[in-house]
Amino acid sequence: MKNASKNKTISITYRLTLFYMLSAFGILAAITGYLYFALMRNLDGEDNQFLVEKIHDLRTILKEHPDNMQLLQEEVNEGEDSPFVNYVRILDEKGATVLEFSKKENTQLAALFPEPVEIDEDPVRGWKKSTPDGRLYLLMSAWAKIGGAPAEKRLLQAALDISREQEILNEYKNKVLGMLVLGVLFSAAAGFFIARKGMQPLQDITGVIRKIRSTKLHERVNPSLWPRELTELAFSFDQLLDHLQNSFSRLSQFSSNLAHELRNPINTLMGEAEVVLSKPRTHQEYQSHIELNLEEYEKLANIIKSLLFLAKAESTDIILERTVFDVSAEIHAMLEYYDALIEQQHIAISVQGAASLNADLSLFRRVISNILSNSIRYTPSGGKIDISIWQDADHVVSVQIRDTGIGIEASAIEKVFDRFYRSDKAKTASGQGTGLGLAIAKSIMDLHGGSIQIQSPPGHGTIVTLTFPLPVSCF
């Protein structure tokens, strides 16, 4: 909890708020920017069109009615009723003023006009210039032909006061910026509210998870109570709790079984020691008691050795020393070790099939030995054990050991790989064994990437199938 409180990373709520605010800013900026530039282009287009038409009308009058000064005067003075302050002037080739109109006297304006376009060119866009008094004008100039005399021409100059339009654009820009700021602030507030509301289920599920302790592993988050986005999280967490509860249960059972398995030989050793120390003994009596103690020491050593192997197998500290060997030959060699016990119990054993296997030979012998020991131990006199070996087309080698023994209860098959677990039938039939043989066998098969399967049809003994896949390095 202390580490969590010191975590200075930005929360998901604030991140979502920031992203929402940035997206809203981008959208609003794009919309308002588009509207502003659209308005500016429309106004600019109308102003340029106004001047272009004025130049065109004056050119037409000078070309078709060069001597009609009254018509020319009327066209020049047409801007008198315009809401804008217009300026129109006609000059001859020497620069002398022929006609001039201005709603407002401005002697500084005449010097601001751009270079005129030629007679055969049409003006397109004007030139924006500001006068010293702070007013903004759109200026346009062009040469015009007079009647049919090609050598004579006039200079036309037209100006439009666009100061008011610029003021309108500035006001609109300020309003747009204000709306943009307000929109971003509103989107940030709305985004924070929406994000916090949306993250509330995650906070609720966090609160539920915090209540779960090692003593309350039976509680569940329950995926059906949460939104669809959190269902997978709740389901995965419940699965984790299932695994933890199962692990805790197995650990508790393992601790209990381990204590039980260690208690018996230790109690026996303590009892033997008390008997020996109760009175003086002869050399032969001491030797006899020591021999009895050695058997208990061997049990303890085997338990410790098996537990160490399982611990190494789980931590993958065991490195497989693979070699290619004949499975049938190895099994026959191992059966020689059990000959005396097999003859004593009158058990018939058969081995069928053959295959070559690339595996760790010592671990293979151990897994086969563990299973054979169980089969021989729990198969009654006159029983039978059949060992089958085969290799599939994809080079998977399988070894199946089938016996006619006491079998395993259906409820116990899933638990037989647990450490120290022994079914009631096994405890009744034989007091030997520690319940670690099948756990070790499974670990060995896991190390090889294989599998071990156990079947126990009622009244038909037990079938154990080992499957060894071809190593990856062999492909």
Q: Which helix (H) or strand (E) holds 115?
A: none
- State whether 251 and 340 are in the same domain: no
Give domain status of residue 180, yes or no: no
Q: What is the CATH number of the domain that holds 272?
A: 1.10.287
- Residue 429, pLDDT score: 55
- State whether 439 and 459 are in the same domain: yes
- State whether 307 and 340 are in the same domain: no
**Domain termination site, one of 314, 333, 366:** 314
CA 211 to CA 216: how far, in whole Å? 8
Give domain status of residue 256, yes or no: yes
Give domain status of residue 188, yes or no: no
- State whether 332 and 300 are in the same domain: no
- State whether 124 and 34 are in the same domain: yes
**Domain termination site, one of 252, 282, 314:** 314
Which segments in the chain show pLDDT lower than 70? 1-8, 10, 78-85, 103-107, 148-151, 213-226, 229, 250-262, 310-317, 420-435, 458-459, 472-475
Domain that holds residue 419: 322-474
Check: CB of residue 99 under 8 Å from CB of residue 89.
Answer: yes
- State whether 273 and 342 are in the same domain: no
| 3-state DSSP assignment of residue 139 | strand
CA 445 to CA 437: how far, in whole Å? 13
418-452 in b/e form (b: 16+ CB < 10 A) is bbbbbbebbeebeeebbbbbbbbbbbbbebbebeb
Q: What is the CATH number of the domain that holds 359?
A: 3.30.565.10
| 3-state DSSP assignment of residue 391 | strand
- State whether 281 and 157 are in the same domain: no
pTM, two decimal places: 0.49
The string of DSSP letters for 407-440 reads ---GGGGGGTTSTT---HHHHHH-S---S-HHHH
92-119 in b/e form (b: 16+ CB < 10 A) is eeeeeeebebbeeebeebbebbeebbee
Give domain status of residue 184, yes or no: no
**Domain termination site, one of 170, 189, 213:** 170
- State whether 132 and 228 are in the same domain: no
Give domain status of residue 245, yes or no: yes
- State whether 137 and 159 are in the same domain: yes
CA 235 to CA 232: how far, in whole Å? 5
Give domain status of residue 205, yes or no: no
- State whether 246 and 367 are in the same domain: no
Angle (CA) 330 332 336, round 5°: 115
Give domain status of residue 344, yes or no: yes
Strands 384-391 and 348-352: parallel
- Residue 399, pLDDT score: 92
- State whether 301 and 431 are in the same domain: no
Closest C-alpha among 463, 464, 444, 451 to residue 367: 444
Strands 149-161 and 348-352: unpaired
DSSP state for residue 134 in the 8-state scheme: S
| 3-state DSSP assignment of residue 475 | coil
- State whether 357 and 465 are in the same domain: yes
Give domain status of residue 53, yes or no: yes
Number of domains in the chain: 3
Q: How many CB atoms lie within 10 A of CB 35?
A: 12
